[in-house]
Each structure stands twice: as C-alpha cells, then as structure tokens.
Amino acid sequence: MRQRGMRWILPGAVLFLTAAVIAAIISGSAGIPLRRIFSVIAGGNTTPEYSILIDIRLPRIILGFAVGGALSVAGVILQGMFRNPLVEPYTLGMPGGAALGAALCIILKLQDIFPAIVLPVSGFIGSCLVILPLYFVNMRRNVVRMQGILLTGVMTSFISTSLVVLILAIAKTEEVHSIVFWIMGSLEEPSWALIIIIGITAVLGLFLSYLMASVLNALSLGEEEAIHLGINTERTKKQLFILASLLTGISVSLTGIIGFVGLIVPHFVRIMTGYDHRKLIVISFLTGAGFLIFCDTIARTAFAPVELPVGVITGILGGSIFIYILSRRHLSGRTDGAL
C-alpha cells in the first residue's frame, strides 16, 4: 500500500510547497490577489504592491524555503546517524551557541558597526565555537563516539542557555527585547547577499546529502552492517556530521532558533515514505520548506500589524503534530522508530 502511495507523495510535497508560497505571496495587511501578481511584477517598481511583493515577501519566502529545507535535511541526517528518532539539529547545542554569540553581539552593540552582517556572523561563530569542541572532544583514535557527541551536545546546550539567561539578567530593557526576539526566530532578513548564501547552501546540502543517501541507509542498519557492506563508517560519520552542522549553523545564524522543523518533518515524511533516505531527504526538504513558509505566513498575519516570532508558530504547530502522531502510533500498536 505504501508503494502505491509513493506515486502521489512527491507531487503532494510539491503541491504543499506551492500552496504555501502562494499563500505567503497573497496574504498580509496589504492583500495582493493572485490574478494581479504577474501584472504587478510586469509593472515594475512604480507601485507600492511591487515593493511589498519583491522587497518584503519574496525574501521571506526564499529564506523560509532555504532554512526549512536545510533544517529538515539536517534532521534526517542526524536521525539516521544516531538511529534515534528524537535527535534533531538543535540537540547538539548549536542553537545555544548561536544565541550566545548573538546576545554578546547585541549587548556589545557590535551590530552598530556592520548592521547587515555582524549579527548573523556572530551567531554563526557562536555555533561553530560550540560544535568544534564537541567534535574533537568525542573523537578518540580516529573513532567518533556518537553517544558522547549526543550527551556532550545536550550539556553544551544547557551551558549556553544558562549564559544567555545570565546576559538577559544584566542587559538593558531594549537589549533584552532584541535578544528574546532573535532567539524566538524570524525570517525578516534585509540582506539579499545573506539570503543568496543560505539558498545556495541549502540546495548544495540537499545535493550532497542525496549523494550519501545509500550510506545513510546502511548506517541506519547499524555500524557493523555498514562495515560489512564496505563503508568506511568513521569517515562517513565525520562527513555527515559536518554537513548537518553546517546546514544548522548557517540556518540558525540568519533566522534565530526555529524549533521543531528538523524534528517533526522527518518523522512525518518517514511515516509516508519509509526509511529509504533517497526519498526521505528530497521529500523532507520540500515539506520542511513549505512548513516553514506556511508558519511564517501565520506569524505575519495572525495578529497583524503585530508580527509574531515564527519560532512560536513552529513550536505550537510542530508540538501539536508531534503529539498527534505519537498518539496515533501508540493506538495503532506501532513501535518502530518513526513513532
């Protein structure tokens, strides 16, 4: 039955992404009917609608596509590596490091120097400072200790979070507001250069992870089985770990902490497609992109003109979907790793 259903899963993911993009384009305090989109674009920058469409909504759509897809692919990679359905990109502590870097940048007023790039760069440096020691501490005699990485990542996340709370306790009111809003996530990014960078990174990450899909399939069976299949497991784990870390670090540095995308999307897609990573990676990318764009549209329009942090919406929707899937799997008697 699942094999028959595969005929519509990929078109369904594309349709979901398309619907999310259309909803993001036409929704907002200044509604733009779908039938007028092409005429607005053809008319050039002579109307306010053109500026709203090209300068405000389009960058958010592209950023949502890239970050949602990148986080979903990173979640697929890490869950396959650790063989643990509860592992997600944020489990390894990168968001905590990014939040710490951004918080230090805000209280030191470094964003006043280069306002367009210094905050994302500080977040990326913070995530790297967390992930690099995490990698080297858990590599002994050229062997990557996966459980050590997981436990160290959780502890590092706690330490980073505690330091961010300390900064919040001593920061000024306006600084606290900026830090909290950044931590809760937003797709508001004015720099086209940074948007292009994350877009290229996300697509390249999708391509590289797809090339390693067969290796992930083997690792999902266990390291011993993968070795018997002729795979250099230690080298592969390093490559996958670096790829997932890069996708997560760049995403978090630009948008802040947007939770549940890298956790719930792989779960949901795995239920439909099974454990073949050749299908799982591509469909997770498309579904994650559509999910984040859809959540951002809700964040923009639910209490307009006030904009909610998109991380709030992904947390509410993602958590609700996760609980629903968990209850359904228990009621049906399923005990596999896809919940």
pTM exceeds 0.75 for this model = yes
| Residue 258 zone, left/alpha/beta (φ > 0; ψ -120 to 50; rest) | beta
Which alpha helices (H) appear in 108-145, and where do they start and end?
118-137
Q: Tell me which DSSP letter residue 36 carries.
A: G
Task: Check residues 30 and 233 and name the one with the higher pLDDT.
Answer: 233
Pair 185, 255: CB distance under 8 Å: yes
Could you tell me the fold of the domain covering 2-331?
A: ABC transporter involved in vitamin B12 uptake, BtuC (1.10.3470)
Non-local CB neighbours of 190 within 8 Å, separated by 6+ positions = 59, 116
In this predicted model, what pLDDT tens digit does every residue of 91-135 receive, in sequence order? 888 888 888 998 999 898 887 777 668 888 888 898 888 887 777
**pLDDT at 4 exceeding the cut of 60:** no
Domain ranges of the chain: 2-331
Highest mean pLDDT among 28-32, 41-45, 87-91, 239-243: 239-243
